[in-house]
Amino acid sequence: MSCGEGKPCLEAKYRRTALVVLLLMLLIFLGLSAASFIDSRNQVTPDTVSFGSHEAVAGKRVFQAYNCMGCHTMVGNGGYLGPDLTNTYEHAGSAWLAAFLPSAGTWPTSAALKIQLQGQDHAEDSKTASLDDYYKKYPGAAERVQRRGGHASIMPNLPLTADEVANLIAYLKYTSAMNTEGWPPKPKVDGLTFKYASPGLNVASAAAVPAVAAATAATAEAVADPTIHGAQLVKDYACTACHAADKQKLVGPGWGGLYGSKVTLTDGTTVVADDAYLTEAIRNANAQIVAGYTAGVMPEYANMLKNDEVAAIVAYIRSLQENGK
């Protein structure tokens, strides 16, 4: 740049202005860089959030390992096949997540949540072991159970271990604690015909009388056939989250071929998995621990299942042996 003859020369002024602007931008950059090293800036960080002994940082690794963002968004980032998960913990709580994640192909029922609340971590996290109080604290869980409980979902059952589930809960607890400034927005479902947009999905109405009658007939059939009743109870209580219908080992042993087999206990003794053994194993899970498994993982069902319900579940397990599974 040069000054023309007879014109004022402003080159030096422009150069100084450019240098001042450049210096100002450098100062802003250095200031923002320094601010990024401040610990939290009053924002929650994952290393400060945990669920029981499980940390949010470990949960984020599980979330990434299973590529959850391929279907779900988190703070607006990710896929849109499934719902945004940012505030799921805040709305539904840890017990609902623990009931859903291991057997995501079916939405949890009240029975499944009631079982989870027997666990110390969930009772301490929600500060209640009462299902009614839990629903009051987490109305999103009540709404999910009321609308979808027992119905099939489109999410696949993932091979999550108990530790991975607890880690994911810790991570979702952290994301619910973040200040997202209103994200995700509340979806508008008024006028939608999609069945899950209706709050009355599981509520009987005059139009639903034939369906209710059919369900009543099915219930009567289940009561008449203990095996059918047991299969329904297994579904309601989400037993398949920990036990497979074949010989596959999940959190607990598979049920295929279990009935009538010899079971080795942690003390080295062996017992036959007959009606008496299975009944005791369901009602008092920690009375006899199978070798290779840990005490305290399975909840106690003694005060939750009636005698005929336990017998029905035993009949269902027996049928898996009879069917050769």
Domains along the chain? 46-177 (1.10.760), 213-322 (1.10.760.10)
Question: What pLDDT is recorded for position 36?
Answer: 74
- How does the average pLDDT of the chain come out, rounded? 84
Q: Residue 235 — φ and ψ, nearest 5°?
A: -70, -45
User: Using an 8 Å Cβ cutoff, are 229 and 223 in contact?
Assistant: yes
Q: What is the pLDDT of residues 249-308, one digit of tens each?
A: 888 889 999 999 999 999 999 999 999 999 999 999 888 889 988 887 787 788 788 899
Q: Please, which pLDDT band fits residue 243 given cuts at 50, 70 and 90?
A: confident
Q: Please, which pLDDT band fits residue 35 given cuts at 50, 70 and 90?
A: confident
Average pLDDT over residues 195-199: 60
Structure tokens at 282: 């369901």
Whole-structure pTM value: 0.65
Question: What pLDDT is recorded for position 206?
Answer: 39
- Dihedral sign (CA 193, 185, 116, 267): positive
DSSP 190-240: TT--SGGG-TTTTS--GGGHHHHHHHHHHHHHHHHSHHHHHHHHHHHTTGG
Average pLDDT over residues 146-152: 87
Q: Please, which pLDDT band fits residue 215 given cuts at 50, 70 and 90?
A: very low
The answer on pLDDT for 145 being more than 90 is: yes
The answer on pLDDT for 40 being more than 60 is: no
Percent of the chain with pLDDT over 70: 83
Average pLDDT over residues 140-156: 89
The answer on pLDDT for 229 being more than 80 is: yes
* Four-point Cα dihedral 303, 304, 309, 315, nearest 10: -90
Q: Please, which pLDDT band fits residue 24 given cuts at 50, 70 and 90?
A: very high
Question: What pLDDT is recorded for position 22?
Answer: 95
Q: What is the pLDDT of residues 105-120, one digit of tens each?
A: 889 999 899 889 988 8
Q: Please, which pLDDT band fits residue 205 given cuts at 50, 70 and 90?
A: very low
* Four-point Cα dihedral 113, 114, 120, 124, nearest 10: 70
Average pLDDT over residues 196-204: 51
